[in-house]
Amino acid sequence: MKILVLNSGSSSVKFQVIETDLERMNAHEDQTLATGLVEKIGLADSRLVLKVPDRKSYSDYREILEHRAAIEWVLRILTDPEVGILGDVTDVGAVGHRVVHGGETFASSVLITPDVVQQIEECSVLAPLHNPPNLRGYYAAHAALPGVPHIAVFDTAFHQTMPPHAFLYGIPFQLYTKHALRRYGFHGTSHRYVAFRGSQILGWEKEEHNLITVHLGNGCSLAAIDHGKSIDTSMGFTPLEGLLMGTRTGDMDPAIVPWLMAMEEMTLHQVNTMMNKHSGLYGVSGVSSDMRELVEARAAGHQRADVAFRMFCYRVKKYIGA
């Protein structure tokens, strides 16, 4: 069966087509048939990129104003006789949707039903920038492929096994009971896969899955895995907590926020934007949020790039040691 995987953002749709052949799966062979994205949704020069193994990548430009048109464009290209990899849209047996936040409602992937859609909408208060576009992608894909199952896969679900002493904050308890204000963790699908695959490589049984998983990219997190379950992770209520990242601060004294608002006369929105978009490796180095560029700058003697590099490595080691 061929599965279409979608990651719908505010202005982009990333996609992947996977063949679920059991023999190849057991042999740990790559079953990716195609990957790609539609970017700059809402603009006149939207771009689609399709990458198929052992082929030259394909790209095209056109005006795509909303997610439904983007999904239709993806399906049209995937079934194109010259560049596609599907004979017909009916070759798609199921669609998997990345959903960032499942709150305390979802502890695993689920079949999307009207009730599930409503619950995802209710979780949008916890991820107002991510869940709404995730749902727009679902609506668009369901309209194009109404006859196949659609599955929601949540970033937060894997970490729902964290115990209260790991997920609660040291704030008045009624704020948790009223607003579900707690640590959720993210990158759960990545941590779950790395724990599973790492244990396979090591020849461990499930009950022996005691390890630390590390997800390093523009966003970074670690997770402590005990008997195959997440018992702690570095990210918190939002992806801002934890490690130093590409443009995010990671851990910092929360009293810095009101201090900046007073001393720099910044608004809350400005401070939030600074912490998420202008900090981390980029903010410290003044060079880039990309570690590859920092390594080059560091080798050329750039002192702030060296400091950012050392901060990043120190934070990773510190969390692993904890």
Q: How far apart are CA 43 and CA 76, in angstroms?
A: 20
Q: Do residues 305 and 294 lie in contact, with contact meaning Cβ atoms separated by under 8 Å?
A: yes
Token pair in block for residue 269 = 């929105």
Specify whether 91 is catalytic: no
Q: How open is the CA angle 200-314-295, to the nearest 5 degrees? A: 90
- Residue 100 phi, psi dihedral angles, 5° rounding: -65, -50
**Exposed, middle or buried: residue 31 (CB in 10 Å: 0-12, 13-18, 19+)?**
middle
Residue among 246, 266, 245, 248 at smallest CA distance from 257: 266
- For residue 85, the one-letter residue type is I
- Which residue stretches of 213-290 are H helix? 256-263, 268-277, 280-285
Per this entry, what is the length of the chain? 322
- For residue 226, the one-letter residue type is D
Location of structure tokens 């464009």: 73
* Annotated catalytic residue within 45, 115, 155, 306: 155
Pairing of strands 32-39, 43-51: antiparallel
Strand order in the sheet with 92-99: 58-64, 43-51, 32-39, 12-19, 2-8, 92-99, 150-154, 110-111
- Residue 286 phi, psi dihedral angles, 5° rounding: 70, 10
Token pair in block for residue 135 = 């749902």
Q: How far apart are CA 211 and CA 224, in angstroms?
A: 6
Residues assigned a catalytic role: 155
